[in-house]
């Protein structure tokens, strides 16, 4: 492995910054903040013109810095990646040892995150690839604890093995969805027992009404979560289809219930 010199930071422990772009995430944001506030020194949230209580909830957390999202046009991965890149270089270089880029429904987990990351840095590791799981639940979480203590059923999903934990001194260029990065000379992502728990399928109601349907599929389900017409359903499923038959049923039996599932425990998960 190539030798390098880390920037000199006068900090007693590894400093961790979190970055997330959000739009209308008032339901899941409290779970996001409860988890990352356990170990993050700062949480940067870029509010993409939310119309709900996302900004209000974010401002109430002392670790959160609410940043302006200067782009428009809805879901645009190129703009998202550019925004992530500009933000971490501006706010974290020379101030943080590690940066994590996560969506509102993505929880990056390890029982002892700070010690683990510090150990990885001492080994010379600069980019970490997470181990991804899709979490599914028939009922919405409703307690004031951690979301993974309520919703424990998941499926191993290699699509979410994302290299989203890294040294901010690096010039990271993500692809769409941050599933991978452009290669860096002599530096490759490694695994370090960091799970990425993707909480997208939290009941049928949550999937159809809360997950920004108008941004993803081009229709708004409205207060009654009415089903779109067959024509719009076929058109939207061709352009963006997170799971088979996602417009007609939740969860898709052919995808979820026929795949190997596991019961999540913060003390025991498949690396």
Q: Which residues contact 121 (CB under 8 A, 6 or more apart)?
A: 6, 14, 97, 98, 167
Residue 230's pLDDT is 41
**Residue 262 pLDDT:** 58
Q: Which residues pair with 132 in a beta bridge?
A: 196
Residue 160 · residue 130 · CB < 8 Å: yes
pLDDT along the chain (271 residues), means of 10: 46 87 94 98 94 96 93 78 94 97 96 96 97 92 91 92 97 92 94 95 76 47 40 39 34 44 52 46
pLDDT, position 265: 56
**pLDDT (0 to 100) of residue 210:** 56
CA distance from start to end of the chain: 23
* Residue-level pLDDT at 71: 76
Per-residue confidence (pLDDT) for residue 74, from 0 to 100? 67
Q: Taking Cα atoms as reference points, which of 261, 244, 262, 264 lies closest to residue 253?
A: 244
Compute the distance between CA of residue 27 and CA of residue 33 in angstroms, rounded to an integer: 11
Question: What does the alpha-carbon distance between residue 246 and residue 251 come to, in Å, rounded to a whole number?
Answer: 7
Determine the pLDDT at residue 68.
86
Q: Phi and psi at residue 225, in whole multiples of 5°?
A: 55, 45
The per-residue pLDDT for range 73-93, each reduced to its tens digit, is 667 888 889 999 999 999 999
Which letter, b or e, does each residue of 103-133 get, where b requires 16 or more Cβ atoms within 10 Å of its Cβ? Answer: bbbbbbbbeebbebbbebeeeebbbbbbbbb
Which ranges of 6-76 does DSSP label H, i.e. alpha helix?
Answer: 29-36, 54-59
Identify the pLDDT of residue 73. Answer: 64
Q: Pairing between strand 16-22 and 106-109?
A: unpaired
- 15 CB neighbour count, 10 Å cutoff: 19
Mean confidence (pLDDT) of the chain: 79
pTM: 0.77
- Tens of pLDDT along 93-139? 999 999 999 999 999 999 999 999 999 999 999 999 999 999 999 88
Number of H helices, E strands in the chain: 8, 10
């Amino acid at each position: 492995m190539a030798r390098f010199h880390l920037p000199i930071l006068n900090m007693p422990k590894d400093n961790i910054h979190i970055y997330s772009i959000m739009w209308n995430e008032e339901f899941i944001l409290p779970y996001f903040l409860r988890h990352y506030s356990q170990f993050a020194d700062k949480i940067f949230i870029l509010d993409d013109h939310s119309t709900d209580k996302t900004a209000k909830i974010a401002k109430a957390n002392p670790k959160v810095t609410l940043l302006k999202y200067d782009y428009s046009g809805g879901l645009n991965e190129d703009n998202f990646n550019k925004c992530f890149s500009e933000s971490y270089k501006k706010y974290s270089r020379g101030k943080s040892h590690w940066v994590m880029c996560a969506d509102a429904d993505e929880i990056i987990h390890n029982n002892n995150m700070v010690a683990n990351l510090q150990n990885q840095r001492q080994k010379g590791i600069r980019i970490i690839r997470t181990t991804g799981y899709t979490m599914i639940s028939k009922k919405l979480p409703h307690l004031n604890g951690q979301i993974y203590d309520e919703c424990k059923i998941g499926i191993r999903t290699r699509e979410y093995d994302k290299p989203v934990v890294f040294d901010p001194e690096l010039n990271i260029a993500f692809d769409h969805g941050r599933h991978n990065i452009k290669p860096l000379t002599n530096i490759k992502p490694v695994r370090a027992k960091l799970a990425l728990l993707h909480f997208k399928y939290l009941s049928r109601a949550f999937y159809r009404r809360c997950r920004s349907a108008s941004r993803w599929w081009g229709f708004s389900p409205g207060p009654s979560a009415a089903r779109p017409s067959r024509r719009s359903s076929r058109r939207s499923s061709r352009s963006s289809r997170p799971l088979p038959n996602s417009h007609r049923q939740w969860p898709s039996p052919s995808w979820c219930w026929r795949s190997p599932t596991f019961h999540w425990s913060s003390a025991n998960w498949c690396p």
